[in-house]
């Protein structure tokens, strides 16, 4: 987070190394934006408890967008330098564990996506394997791909709910992805991987838009939206497979 917002802000760096009020307010604003994710997570959890899968996924989608852009805002506002006493990475991880792991596990349990009697064990599997992911200091490769399944259970919940698969197929998917957490399989981070970043961002936008449409229109699946969703999903899978087969690379 070493970049600066603009040349105008440089005048606010005091001779003793401190920062002016505008710089500090900007940095606190970014932290507040990041922190809003925990509120979105709470709303998603309440929606799941109330039996509203669409609303739950909607709140999780908003939380995903917040998480996708807050890092860029933090780097532009030089949050790490302006507010060194607040660890934005820890803040982000705490919120992500709620919105990426806990709420999706509750959603999958609450809406019967698992076989009868296996809901709690599979939800526990999700929570436990994700702890390794979140505490793994080597979770990113030199070129910013995730190493091992990055505990994006919110995305998994979206797919399993949308595709309406057999609960035993869902079980196999969840178990397999949990095991992949401990491997060196690479997963794309569309906002951090520099190679093909523009294409990745376009595909990510298409995926988000089509996902939102499928959730809002569920159980209807308009052909155009369905094709965009599947095509963008296939792109992600292809990039992850290509990067995994490529092997280790330098940053």
What does the DSSP 8-state code read for residue 166? -
Sorted by where each begins, the domain ranges of the chain are: 1-111, 138-251
Contact indicator for 169, 114 with CB cutoff of 8 Å: no
1-111 belongs to which CATH class?
A: mainly alpha
Distances (CA, A) of 115 to 56, 121, 157, 219: 21, 11, 15, 21
Measured CA to CA, the distance from residue 51 to residue 34 in angstroms comes to 27
How confident is the model at residue 232, as a pLDDT?
Answer: 97
| 128 vs 21 pLDDT, higher one | 128
Give 28-50 pLDDT, tens digit per residue.
999 999 999 999 999 999 999 99
User: In terms of Cα–Cα distance, which of 45, 66, 67, 65 is closest to 56?
Assistant: 45
Contact indicator for 139, 148 with CB cutoff of 8 Å: yes
Give 108-137 pLDDT, tens digit per residue.
999 999 999 999 999 999 999 999 999 999
| Exposure b/e, 94-106, CB count within 10 A at least 16 = b | ebbbbbbbbbbbb
Percent of the chain whose pLDDT exceeds 70: 92
Percent of the chain whose pLDDT exceeds 90: 75
Please determine, for residue 13, whether its predicted confidence score (pLDDT) is greater than 70.
no
Q: What is the mean pLDDT of the chain?
A: 90
- Residue 93: band (very low, low, confident or very high) from pLDDT cuts 50, 70, 90: very high
Tell me, rounded to whole angstroms, the distance of Cα 22 from its chain centroid. Answer: 30
Residues in the chain, how many?
251
Angle between helices 53-76 and 88-96 (to 10 degrees): 170
């Amino acid at each position: 987070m070493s970049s600066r917002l603009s040349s105008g802000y440089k005048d606010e760096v005091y001779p003793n190394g401190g920062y002016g009020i505008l710089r500090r307010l900007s940095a606190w604003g970014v932290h507040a934006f990041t922190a809003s994710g925990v509120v979105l997570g709470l709303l998603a959890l309440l929606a799941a408890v109330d039996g509203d899968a669409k609303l739950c996924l909607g709140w999780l989608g908003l939380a995903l967008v917040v998480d996708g852009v807050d890092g860029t805002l933090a780097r532009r506002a030089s949050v790490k330098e302006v507010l060194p006493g607040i660890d934005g990475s820890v803040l982000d991880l705490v919120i992500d564990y709620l919105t990426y792991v806990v709420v999706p596990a509750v959603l999958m349990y609450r809406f019967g996506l698992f076989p009868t009697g296996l809901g709690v064990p599979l939800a526990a599997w999700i929570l436990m394997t994700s702890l390794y992911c979140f505490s793994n200091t080597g979770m990113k490769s030199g070129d910013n791909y995730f190493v091992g399944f990055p505990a994006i259970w919110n995305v998994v919940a979206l797919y399993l709910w949308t595709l309406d698969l057999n609960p035993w197929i869902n079980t196999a998917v969840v178990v397999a992805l949990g095991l992949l957490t401990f491997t060196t399989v690479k997963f794309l981070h569309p906002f951090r991987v520099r190679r093909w970043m523009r294409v990745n961002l376009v595909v990510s936008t298409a995926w988000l838009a089509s996902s939102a449409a499928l959730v809002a229109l569920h159980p209807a699946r308009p052909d155009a939206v369905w094709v965009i969703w599947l095509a963008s999903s296939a792109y992600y899978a292809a990039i992850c497979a290509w990067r995994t087969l490529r092997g280790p690379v330098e940053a």
